[in-house]
Structure 1
Amino acid sequence: MAGAAASLGTDPITLADLLRVANSPGFERWQEQIRRTGGCAHPIRLQGQTVTRDAKTGDVLYSYSTEQEPGGMLRVACGNRRASRCPACAWTYAGDTYHLIRAGITGDEQKDVPATVRDHPRVFATLTAPSFGAVHNRPDTGPCRCGASHTDDDPALGTALDPERYDYAGAVLWNNYAGDLWRRFTIYLHREIAARAGLTQTAMKEACRVSFGKVAEFQKRGSVHFHAVVRLDGPDGPDSAPPAWATVVLLDDAIKAAAARVSVPVSSSRDHPARTLRWGSQVDVQPIGALGQEELTEQTVASYVAKYATKAAETTGTVDHRIGELAELDKLPLPAHTRRLIEACWHLDDAYPERLLARWAHMLGFRGHFSTKSRRYSTTLGALRQVRADYRARQERRERGLSEDLDDTEGSTLVLAHWTYAGQGHTPGESWLAATIAKEIQLNRETAREALADLAGLDEEVWA
């Protein structure tokens, strides 16, 4: 422990608490709890008990109480998807998102998506925000407009060249209405596909279904854009083949046409003129190919989407929590460009109270979901979590000498439980240990994944 403590590089308080935790009674059980949370950075602490009885005889099959747990508490994962808040839970969320997106591209019988979806038209589309003013960037050729050749990690990237002329109000309003733009885009996409097929919208629904899975990403300049896997199915979803006229070329053309048609009007209010919000001119659509057939492979797309599912606006230097009042900004190390976007949200809040801009100022006005999908695209995150919970439940029953399928017969057992919230988070020493456990878990899974990929002859990244 002394050698490990010397290499921590942490403050004396953390080191002292680390020693306290490591020498506390029940330390091994505490470690087991944290491993079960995946190394969660902010676990929820619960107190209570549960009793499982045979529904027919009333016999107690199993009972549990937190009284014997370390500190008298059970720790469960917080489940936060944001990597800035909990890297461990965000890693799990990214893995679930990968499987959800990949199942809709390659098919997965265990997730009720047939493998035949590989034969359906599939594209990876990116819809961006328009320009709100010139920003520092890295052009494909030559230097930035400012004359400098910025590096990838230059903090100036994405910031306004001329802050006084940059449309900060337009930028945050666009973020705020981005969800409305996407909803209208899906409506127009159906219409554009129907028009190219020579069908009415009613006939279109009887012949073809559009499915998608998308994720939002913040650009350096603080504007949201969307990445989406879009797939054409038959009328019954992924289980049915799309009509012969449903091709990648048609889908590509329909997406670009739909994006060009979408507009969301914003009425004038006080000192703010009326404006019309639209997608940016950069609409990228790429076909998705099977492994080795196209540059943009199925695994690459799923990994790309999963990567951004755990990120929010932190890439712009903003904070990952709500801001109670503008005075808080003076205490935060915010980049000037990001601060202006946050201030714009607060200044616009009185003009557009129904948009809750101040409430979402830390998100630069964006209040939509970062990861969404259409109903028949593939499985759900809830279903994936349930599979994991069922596995752990069977594992626990096996460890206690009970039948693994004890709960499979409806009405066979009766569970009585009482839980109370007892807090959240770790002490400094616990935080360090939890982070170490999280890294160990990820390293072990990555090693196992690489071994499986080698056996299968795969080079692509596959989430465990």
Structure 2
Amino acid sequence: MTRSNPYNDPTARRAFLDREARLRQLSDVERDFVRLGELPDLNRWLDQVRATGGCAEPVHLRGHSTTLGAGTGEVLRHYSTEAEPGGRLSVRCRNRRASRCATCSREHSGDTFHLVRSGLTGGKGVPDAVRTHPRLFVTLTAPSFGAVHRAGECHRARRRCCEHGGRHGCGRLHPDTDPLVGQPLCADCYDYPGHVLWNAMAPALWKAFRDNLYHHLATRAGVGRSEVRALVRVSAAKVAEYQKRGSVHFHAVVRLDGPDGPAAPPPSWATGALLLEAVHSAVAAVALPCPDTAAHNGGRLRFGTQLDAHPLMKGDGGRLTDDAVAAYVAKYTSKSVEAAGAVDRRMESLAEIRALPVSLHVRALIATAWRLGGLPELQHLRLRAWAHMLGYRGHCLTKTRAFSTTYGQLRAARRRARQRPVRRPGQRDRGRECMAVCGNRAHPGRSAHRRRHRRRPRHNPGSRARRRGRFRPVWWGMVTGPAPVPGGSVERAGTPGQAEVPVIRSEIVIVDDDGNEEPYDPAKH
């Protein structure tokens, strides 16, 4: 139906003005819904929203991908974003921060839960015997950089004052939601350079603790330091959490394995009690020299005196179970520096720092990191790039190689599960060789061993997601395979008995709202 031109038709002009008057009475969100409802390709846009799981900041891709047969060069499948709404395809941002994207952070927390849980109870490629290995749940804190207000009963009020005129105590009872919690009693007495430098060196402190733990295990077991690594292996995973005062502390799971990893039992002398003693002594002994700078008085960087360690033996740690520990660690992967009242974006200048809507304490920490980052002797710490993180430069979660599975393996397993054809009740299993093409990657599916001629499914992943009640990648397709050969395998050009690997040619870029393009890395998105 052709609409009348409101510039020429008085009736159409009146209808247009009445519609605009009704739209002005709506909120911005409601007007946006009206605009979306008038899109000609609304259904495809909804398919993309469902496929990304409702991602708050999706990455927009533009380009094309062509799958060719390796032997014949035949075009098996071609996909281009030109037919998509706006000429672009949306994929998940995969941001772990809940402040940026609640959907992707929830998925990342779920992956972290399974990653840590498999290191505690086994599964996903980890032997079930790890639950019988000595394990500890450890919390390592930062030292004191000055008195701060604390939740509950604060510091006892005293008559004395510091040299700057500040009180030595508070005497009040602070609830957990009190904005004063974590703020220094006297900002002039607080060691801001030491605080920022400790955050910057915290990853190095963790590595030094893990290396030093071998020495303390050797001392208590009565073996040489050069021999202990051939007898036992320390596997660990740790997550960083920001305290209210802005310092980082670590929650870690430490496990003792045999020399060959989780599949080998540790020596008989490697008990939970010995590991507990070694952790306490290693935390107290580890120390690193402070970076040499005139902005700080130097000294040694150490962990705080508050150390919490709980043994986890045979899947039962008393008040801490394996699932509870995994959930506790996973919870903090979705949080970041905003837990301390800071921001999750990088700073560009001191003027921007002064305009931040944060507390005076957090602004002083960010400004201190910015100023320290300008010193030539601290350039290697890249403090200006990480000023918004209060100097901390490490990853949120790290683990040793042998502790458990990896994020990549978990995501690949979820991708295979989403791409696997689902058989309805009463439906006959019709095998085919399929190839799921996602972006510029190809993931082999089920092998062909029954029939050849199958109807190719229509490329409508949104409808499939609605029918099956789960999300699937939008960029998803299937190609049929050749005729089966005796023995149940498929022979193609290449090594006999092996499936042909199609050649995938793609040209994909990331495009923002302003039309700017940048290279697309599928490993990051």
Q: TM-score range by the shorter chain?
A: 0.7 to 0.9
Write the letter of the residue equivalent to 1:125: V
**Counterpart for residue 138 of structure 1:** 151
SS at match of 2:174: coil
Q: Which amino acid aligns with 2:139?
A: T
Match of 2:430 in 1: none
Matched residue, 2:10: none
Q: Which residue of 1 aligns with 2:225?
A: 201
**CA contact under 8 A between 1:267 and 1:273: conserved in structure 2?**
no
Q: How far apart, in 2, do the equivalents of 1:121 and 1:56 lie?
A: 54
Deviation at 1:98, TM superposition (A): 0.8
What are the within-5 Å matches in structure 2 for residues 227-376 of structure 1? 227-289=251-313, 294-351=318-375, 352-376=378-402
The alignment partner of 1:338 has SS state of: helix
Within 2, Cα distance between the matches of 1:46 and 1:251? 50
Q: For 2:282 and 2:310, how far apart are their aligned partners in 1?
A: 16
Answer whether contact 2:152 2:176 (CA < 8 A) is retained. Answer: no
1:202 alignment partner, SS class: coil
Q: For residue 416 of structure 1, what is the aligned residue in structure 2?
A: 505
- Cα displacement string for residues 13-64 of structure 1 (whole angstroms, at most 9, x for unaligned residues): 3321221113312222212212221211111111122222322233332222
Matched-pair contact (CA < 8 Å) for 1:157–1:220: yes
Is 1:13 the equivalent of 2:28? yes
Identity %: 46
Counterpart residue type for residue 132 of structure 2? D
When residues 206 and 413 of structure 1 are mapped into structure 2, their CA distance, relative to the original with a 3 A threshold, is same
1:112 is aligned to 2:125: yes
Q: Is the Cα contact below 8 Å between 1:349 and 1:355 reproduced in 2?
A: yes
Post-superposition offset of 1:382:
1.4
By how many angstroms is 1:358 displaced? 1.9
Give the 3-state SS of the residue equivalent to 1:183 in structure 2.
helix
Question: Does structure 2 conserve the Cα–Cα contact (< 8 Å) formed by 1:219 and 1:225?
Answer: yes
Q: Deviations over 1:148-183 (max 9, x none)?
A: 211111111111111111111111110011011111
SS in 2 for 1:211: strand
Q: CA deviation at 1:75?
A: 0.5
Going from structure 1 to structure 2, the CA distance change for 1:280 and 1:41 (only over 3 Å counts) comes to same
Higher mean C-alpha deviation, range 244-253 or range 34-43: 34-43
Alpha-carbon distance in structure 2 between the residues aligned to 1:262 and 1:141: 30
Q: Which protein, 1 or 2, shows the higher relative CO under an 8 Å CA cutoff with sep ≥ 6?
A: 1
Instruction: Find the aligned partners of 1:311 and 1:102 in 2 and give their Cα distance.
Output: 19
Q: How many residues align structurally?
A: 414
Which is richer in helix? 1
After TM superposition, give the deviation of residue 354 of structure 1 in Å.
Answer: 2.2
Question: For the Cα contact (< 8 Å) 1:100–1:379, is it kept in 2?
Answer: yes
Secondary structure of the equivalent of 1:279?
coil
Paired letter, 1:113: V
Query: Aligned partners of 1:337 and 1:163: how far apart in 2?
Result: 8
Which residue does the alignment assign to 2:62? 47
RMSD, aligned α-carbons = 2.5
Report if aligned partners of 2:133, 2:314 keep a CA contact under 8 Å in 1. Answer: no
Are the equivalent residues in 1 in contact too, given 2:154–2:170 (CA < 8 A)?
Answer: no
For residues 200-226 of structure 1, give each alpha carbon's deviation from its aligned partner in whole angstroms, at most 9, with x where no partner exists: 133212211110011000000000000
Q: CA deviation at 1:270?
A: 2.8
Q: Say if 2:233 and 2:261, in contact at 8 Å, map to a contact too.
A: yes
User: 1:60-116 deviations in whole A, cap 9, x for unaligned?
Assistant: 3222221221112110111111111111111111111111100000000xx210101
Distance 1:239 1:292 in 2: 20
| Greater shift in the superposed pair: 379-388 or 406-415 | 406-415
Whether contact under 8 Å (1:56, 1:412) holds in the other structure is no
**Contact conserved, 1:290 with 1:297, CA < 8 A, in 2?**
no
Matches of 2:248 and 2:414, distance apart in 1? 32
Over 3 Å counting, the alpha-carbon distance change for 1:415 and 1:31 in structure 2 is same
**Which structure's CA Rg is the greater one?**
2
Kept in 2, the 8 Å contact 1:177–1:366? The answer is yes
- Cα separation, 2, equivalents of 1:128 and 1:278: 10
* Aligned partner of residue 315 in structure 1, secondary structure: helix
Greater Cα offset, 337-346 or 13-22: 13-22
Q: How does the TM-score come out when normalised to structure 2?
A: 0.74
Counterparts in 2 of 1:19-168, with a 5 A limit?
19-108=34-123, 111-139=124-152, 145-168=169-192
Which whole-Å CA distance do the structure 2 matches of 1:221 and 1:230 have between them?
Answer: 26
SS at match of 1:285: strand
- TM-score norm. by structure 1 comes to 0.84
* Shift of residue 264, structure 1, vs aligned partner: 1.1
Q: Deviations over 1:236-269 (max 9, x none)?
A: 1000111111111111111111111111112442
Deviation track 1:122-155 (CA, whole Å, cap 9, x = no partner) reads 1100110001111111247997841221111111
Partner Cα separation in structure 1 for residue 311 and residue 338 of structure 2: 30
In 2, distance between residues paired with 1:80 and 1:249?
Answer: 39
CA deviation after TM superposition for structure 1 residue 272, in Å: 2.8
d(CA) in 1 for partners of 2:417, 2:88: 23
Question: Does structure 1 retain, via aligned residues, the 8 Å contact 2:198–2:301?
Answer: yes
Identify if the C-alpha distance between structure 1 residues 104 and 424 changes in structure 2 by more than 3 Å, giving closer, same or farther: farther
